[in-house]
Chains A and B, each alone.
Chain A
């Protein structure tokens, strides 16, 4: 008999006024009892609409059934069939727009908490399960993966499972990409990312850090070194700025820099040498998940006031509802329908205010969202000593600017064939933000999976 409660089983969380002062994870996750209770809300629809919403097609009703039966390890294996990073996806996927968006229970109430269940299963496995590295018969073929973010790691994992010898090259000193440098500890503990990476290593994937492909080795040299195909998952690592006056002032960060200092370089821990400004009053410009992450990070660094400055209304914010909700609970101030026009500084070049103009919404633009229009004469200033620009990233240009034959569009995104993820250069495949521009972890993983299938097909067709 299904649990007909219209609401999701709540997930226990740290109190907002406590958690906004520490970097520990916000949500504690379900207990076994909560998980079973929530799993029983699934109606096991024959047509499995939830699965269609999942970019990597996790067998959702099956794993939920196993949770309901208490077979957590079985549930883990079910998820793992198609998703190599469940502990991460359970935490950072925008489930409300994907699997949960399609859930039949969502019509008359809240959808089944698929994300929370996925997280429960992955965490249960980490605590109780064993990773027996399945030994796959090596097929004697080598593939290079450039970038150890979600796209690259997924592609590498899938290829390794098929028997390929895979080397992942990472430019930073740690694998994980945006999972390590971007998403904060309180939303995605780095130990979890590390654990997933270790699992991949146990499968035989070799990860070489500190290797900037395009500089230290070219794509051509990868082929010369015997790699038969190259996958590019270099992400969207080139921060956008607004090109308004004052962006060169001291105290203006890109979200990437701000978050990298804190997440990858652990600036919030006293025993690390990374310096960071500990701002009193902060404005974060943007309305996506990255903006929420930066705002909540600023609070945790001790800021007294943190403003989100976003040029549209809350409904148009690209951030996940849950993140907006968490940010508000923690005390982030939302200045909506506002757009910065300049950043002001003192005689030492340090930020002391951000000047904004009020906006109103006009007709929908190309993205389908109503276009913000400035209201003349409505300028006002917010006194701040730090501004974080979280208005998106463009694909990193390093590889395509140093490699011949890889075409990119006018936004700098690598051009690929939709169904195969093959670039304009033979044997070179790409996916993730390098192709799509800034998107989500799960979409990057979906692309990485697709590319792994195509790479396998490509190499086998050459035999």
Chain B
């Protein structure tokens, strides 16, 4: 069992948890992920490692409440424990060779973009961070992101925080303004990563995306996380999760990510009903 040491709401739908997992904390590197299972009847879901503390033996995860499993997870509080917490999995990001980088985070993706920016910043790379959210209320980790970047641009789709537009708008502006990035790291919803990759392809800037497909074991065994990258079949769990954004077949990935969409919505709806029921009876 893996104890939840800290739980912090980041906004209405996003939560940060610090988990006691000394073995994983000792090995974790930026870009890697864990798989967790809340309870015996639960799914195994992958989540990227948002942070770790080798000395305290803790691993931080940030999740967005989207389905039954994340709802179930969000029912737990400090002192409770997760049944399974497995990792670190995947290949760590390799970003050592870059002088100047743009790190793009979209919504919950900022939770993963942030440690990437942190690692780049720590090694002396000049980092511009562009973070996008639907509206002002959803902004997370703003101070953290600011502390690890030379420039932080926060975009909101509806302009409720000032800069109105998508992350691609801000990125285009930076590139055309002569930002001269060696690399762009984009982490967020698939459609956002696809849009960023399409944009940077035009400018010939190397782009790394972090893929988070449907997955079970995370060790290469199930093959459920496969993607087409550069015309070849790759497994996100052992070949990734980072890939060259210009090579990823995003259309396929988007369709595959919706495999269980209806079932998941149904499960989430039922779970919500039960919660309401419980609240009524309480």
B189 is an interface residue with CB less than 8 A from chain A:
no
A1 is an interface residue with CB less than 8 A from chain B:
no
Chain A interface: which of B169-177, B190-198, B221-229?
Answer: B221-229
Chain B residues with Cβ below 8 Å from A261 are: 216
A81 is an interface residue with CB less than 8 A from chain B:
no
Chain A residue, CB-CB nearest to B256: A250
Chain B residues with Cβ below 8 Å from A251 are: 259
Chain B residues with Cβ below 8 Å from A275 are: 43, 259-260, 263-264, 267
Chain B residues with Cβ below 8 Å from A397 are: 220, 238
Contact B37 A239, beta carbon cutoff 8 Å: no
Contact B89 A212, beta carbon cutoff 8 Å: yes
B114 is an interface residue with CB less than 8 A from chain A:
no
Given contacts A173-B44, A248-B226, A248-B252, A216 and B219 within 8 Å (CB-CB): no
Given contacts A238-B220, A241-B233, A250-B256, A173 and B88 within 8 Å (CB-CB): no
Chain B interface: which of A104-112, A252-260, A419-427, A449-457?
Answer: A252-260
B230 is an interface residue with CB less than 8 A from chain A:
no
* A211 to B224 alpha-carbon distance, docked (Å): 20
Q: Determine which of B69, B222, B249 lies in contact with A254 in the assembled complex, contact meaning CB atoms within 8 Å.
A: B222
Chain B residues with Cβ below 8 Å from A350 are: 255
A277 is an interface residue with CB less than 8 A from chain B:
yes
B280 is an interface residue with CB less than 8 A from chain A:
no
Chain A residues with Cβ below 8 Å from B43 are: 265, 273-275
What is the number of residues of chain B that contact chain A, defined by CB distance less than 8 Å?
44
User: Which residues of B47-68 are within 8 A (CB) of A?
Assistant: 68
User: Which residues of A160-208 are within 8 A (CB) of B?
Assistant: 171-173, 181
* A350 to B24 alpha-carbon distance, docked (Å): 37
Given contacts A273-B68, A275-B260, A238 and B221 within 8 Å (CB-CB): yes
Contact B87 A265, beta carbon cutoff 8 Å: no
Contact A348 B219, beta carbon cutoff 8 Å: no
Chain A residue, CB-CB nearest to B271: A273
User: Which residues of A205-257 are within 8 A (CB) of B?
Assistant: 209-212, 215-217, 237-239, 241, 243, 247-251, 253-254, 256-257
* A248 to B233 alpha-carbon distance, docked (Å): 8
Chain A residue, CB-CB nearest to B232: A243
Contact B220 A216, beta carbon cutoff 8 Å: no
* A181 to B44 alpha-carbon distance, docked (Å): 14
A138 is an interface residue with CB less than 8 A from chain B:
no
Chain A at the B interface: mostly helix, strand, loop or mixed?
Answer: loop
Q: Determine which of B24, B69, B216, B258 lies in contact with A257 in the assembled complex, contact meaning CB atoms within 8 Å.
A: B216
User: Which residues of A13-62 are within 8 A (CB) of B?
Assistant: none
| B203-239 interface code vs A (CB 8 A; 1 in, 0 out) | 0000000000000111111111011100001010010
Contact A212 B87, beta carbon cutoff 8 Å: yes
Given contacts A212-B87, A275-B263, A349-B252, A265 and B221 within 8 Å (CB-CB): no
* A217 to B24 alpha-carbon distance, docked (Å): 9
Chain A residue, CB-CB nearest to B68: A273
Chain B residues with Cβ below 8 Å from A210 are: 84-86
A271 is an interface residue with CB less than 8 A from chain B:
yes
* A349 to B224 alpha-carbon distance, docked (Å): 15
Contact A396 B220, beta carbon cutoff 8 Å: yes
* A277 to B24 alpha-carbon distance, docked (Å): 33
User: Which residues of A253-305 are within 8 A (CB) of B?
Assistant: 253-254, 256-257, 260-261, 265-266, 271-275, 277
* A100 to B156 alpha-carbon distance, docked (Å): 71
* A172 to B235 alpha-carbon distance, docked (Å): 18
* A249 to B252 alpha-carbon distance, docked (Å): 7
Chain B residues with Cβ below 8 Å from A4 are: none
A398 is an interface residue with CB less than 8 A from chain B:
yes
Contact B88 A260, beta carbon cutoff 8 Å: no
Contact B220 A254, beta carbon cutoff 8 Å: no
Contact A254 B87, beta carbon cutoff 8 Å: no
Chain A residues with Cβ below 8 Å from B256 are: 248, 250, 349
CB distance from A150 to the nearest CB of B (A): 15
B202 is an interface residue with CB less than 8 A from chain A:
no
* A135 to B202 alpha-carbon distance, docked (Å): 70
Contact A256 B223, beta carbon cutoff 8 Å: yes
The winner among A210, A241, A254, A261 for most chain B CB atoms within 10 A is A210
User: Which A residues have a C-beta under 8 Å from some C-beta of B?
Assistant: 171-173, 181, 209-212, 215-217, 237-239, 241, 243, 247-251, 253-254, 256-257, 260-261, 265-266, 271-275, 277, 348-350, 396-398
Q: What are 13 A-B interface contacts by the 8 Å CB criterion?
A: A173-B37, A210-B85, A212-B89, A215-B88, A247-B233, A248-B226, A248-B233, A248-B252, A249-B252, A250-B255, A254-B224, A261-B216, A349-B252
**A212-B218, A253-B224, A260-B217 given; 9 more Cβ-contact pairs under 8 Å:** A171-B86, A211-B86, A212-B86, A238-B235, A241-B226, A241-B233, A254-B224, A265-B43, A349-B252
User: Which B residues have a C-beta under 8 Å from some C-beta of A?
Assistant: 23-24, 27, 37, 41-44, 68-69, 72, 83-89, 216-224, 226-228, 233, 235, 238, 249, 251-252, 255-256, 258-260, 263-264, 267
Ranked 3 nearest A-B pairs via Cβ: A349-B255, A237-B221, A254-B223
